[in-house]
Amino acid sequence: MHAFPLNLVLSLLVALVLHEIGHMLAARACKIRVTEAGLGWGPILLGARIQGVEYQIRLLPLGAYVRMDMEGLQRRPLSQQLFVLLAGSAVNFVLAAIAWGSLFGTLNLVLALANVFPLYQQDGWKSGMVIFRRVFGGPRPAIEWSFTISGVVMGFALLALSLFSL
């Protein structure tokens, strides 16, 4: 009876960590320095520095992150920038296919789709910004705000569609 909540939490934590490992491995493959990786938010519970990367476990196990040299990333070709930005979602799509039909597979699919959706600070939004800045030769606030707002509008539309189709 108590196995499902534990399975849910552990599966989500593993999916999040593997997502971030995807970003880390892609960054390292493109010779982009990774400075920090963590699980959760809030005050640090545990931390260790290994091979120049500060690994942290934080109080609230909601989310995970990788911090890398963003200037180094921005100097890379567009293909490498997109490779690094979308590597985490690619890992989740592969895991979803491997574990299809299971809770772990479903969580990975949801995590991948949520990250490629162009919501502010998600992988899809960051990738869109990189592409727009390359196409337009730099930041264009009107275009970037339009893109950001369109992601929010699409998100609300999908939420409304899913709620009204129940």
State pLDDT tens for residues 45-95.
999 999 999 999 999 888 899 999 999 999 999 999 999 999 999 999 999
The HSE-up count of residue 155 (CA atoms within 13 Å, CB side) is 17
Domain count, the chain: 1
Given the residues 20, 36, 71, 144, select the one marked as catalytic: 20
Instruction: Look up the domain containing 26 and give its range.
Output: 3-164
Task: Report how far residue 98's alpha carbon sits from residue 96's, in angstroms, rounded to the nearest whole number.
Answer: 6
Query: Is there a contact between 48 and 84 (Cβ–Cβ < 8 Å)?
Result: no
pLDDT band at 155 (very low <50, low <70, confident <90, very high): confident
Our answer to whether residue 71 is catalytic in this structure is: no
Residue bearing the bigger pLDDT, 21 or 158: 21
Helices (DSSP H) in 47-122: which residue ranges? Answer: 70-74, 78-98, 103-116
Sign, CA torsion 25/86/88/121:
positive
